[in-house]
Amino acid sequence: MAKVTGLGHFGIFVRDMPKMVDFYTNVLGMTLTDRGEGDRIVFLSARPEEEHHEIALAKSEDQRTDAGQISFHVDSLQDLKALYRKVKDYGCQFDRIVNHGIAFGCYFRDPEDNRVEIYWSTGIDYPQPFGDPIDLEASDEELLKRIEDLPPREGTGPHYYGRDVGKRLPVAQKA
Amino acid sequence: MSKVTSLGHIGLAVKDMDKMLDFYTRILGMTETDRSERGVFLSAHPETEHHEVLLSHAPDRHTNAQQISFTVGSLDDLRDLYHAIRDYGCGPFRITNHGIAIGCYFRDPENNHVEVYWSTGMDYPQPHGEPIDLEASNDEILQALANMPPKEGSMPRYYGKDVGKRLRPAETSTRS
């Protein structure tokens, strides 16, 4: 059966295009791959060799996107910490920094108040939703221990995520 | 330098959870990976990504994305999905040849602007869009791509390893 194979890109409405392009390229490190006349639309990709755009910024005076979250991967815990500081230094407000078990996520508002998450996938499976506040200024060892210390937890369904499902932190078995 | 490495997931505000869940799993073929009273997690490749879309029950909100766009594996799959979405009752459709992709735009059951698209495997400066008929044969569609004139872009080209070669073998069919 035909099915979608992945989320490719997401388009958001933007008021101040230069400010948003600056933030997504200079702070988050995305690449500008194409732009429309008068910058009515700007295309951004974090992996431009594979995907032409992952974010489309569309200029609009009257429309506004209200996404629950727009979430981006980072490659390592070190990168998450470094990017967290960079976003903080830029002046963004953070509303949630949590251990999801499957990921450490850092939620903040971009310059036009979109709720953005940057997250590092821990590589373990853990039933969602789950969120436990963490301090990204803590050492890597302390933060990694937070994952090791997670108790088994029962989920709502069979788990698909990760190759080591059931190995490191098994979903609690029903009696 | 630390940077984001890819788009992982997005959150979508939902009014009628049963209806939206049915559409995203049964019609678009996504997998439900987890749920709570407030929301449902969906992924198109659940072995590698826990969720790509989080449906959150929020009757008073509308996400109003400019577009939410999903990849498909082949041109045949794009056509099949277009038929499935049409038969489900979604519309109106806008089917566009972007050069880099054939995109099929429609409104999901809660009026979100959604695209399913097949990446053609060739590079073409964006934005670009011209209508194309998905009922045409694969050969005709590939010919339409091959006939696209050279176009100057606004930026140095990043997309595709064979930038400048224009057309590399495209995955048109998953059928034997």
Q: What residues contact residue B153 under an 8 Å CB cut-off, 6+ apart?
A: A34, B125, B126
A78·B2 Cβ contact <8 A: yes
Please name the member of B5, B62, B76 whose beta carbon is closest to the beta carbon of A66: B62
pLDDT in tens, chain B (176 residues): 799 999 999 999 999 999 999 999 999 999 998 999 899 999 999 888 999 999 999 999 999 999 999 999 999 999 999 999 999 999 899 999 999 999 999 999 999 999 999 999 888 889 999 999 999 999 999 999 988 887 777 776 665 544 444 444 456 665 53
At A79 the three-state DSSP class reads helix
User: Which amino acid is it at B140?
Assistant: E
Whether residue B127 is preceded by a cis peptide bond, meaning omega within 30 degrees of 0, is yes
Choose, out of B61, B82, B158, B163, the residue to mutate when testing the contact with A (most A CBs < 10 Å).
B158
pLDDT of residue A159 exceeding 60, the answer is yes
Here the ipTM equals 0.90
> Which tokens go with A146?
């937070």
Q: Which residue has the tokens 């992709």?
A: B101
Q: What residues contact residue A68 under an 8 Å CB cut-off, 6+ apart?
A: A115, B10, B11, B12, B13, B54, B56, B58, B63
In angstroms and rounded to an integer, the radius of gyration of the C-alpha atoms of chain A is 18
Q: Which helix (H) or strand (E) holds A15?
A: none
pTM of the model: 0.91
> Which tokens go with B13?
């505000």
Contacts of A51 in chain B (CB under 8 A): 6, 159
Contacts of A102 in chain B (CB under 8 A): 50
A48-102 pLDDT tens trace: 888 999 999 999 999 999 998 999 999 999 999 999 999 999 999 999 999 999 9
Measured CA to CA, the distance from residue A30 to residue A73 in angstroms comes to 12
| pLDDT attached to residue B87 | 97
Best CA proximity match to B50, nearest among B35, B37, B72: B35
Q: Which residue has the tokens 């009757």?
A: B59
Flag whether residue A129 sits within 8 Å of chain B, measured between CB atoms: yes
Which residue in B has a C-alpha nearest to residue A74's C-alpha? B4
Q: What burial letters (b/e) apply to A109-136, b meaning 16+ CB within 10 Å?
A: ebbbebbbbbbbbbebbbbbbbeeebeb
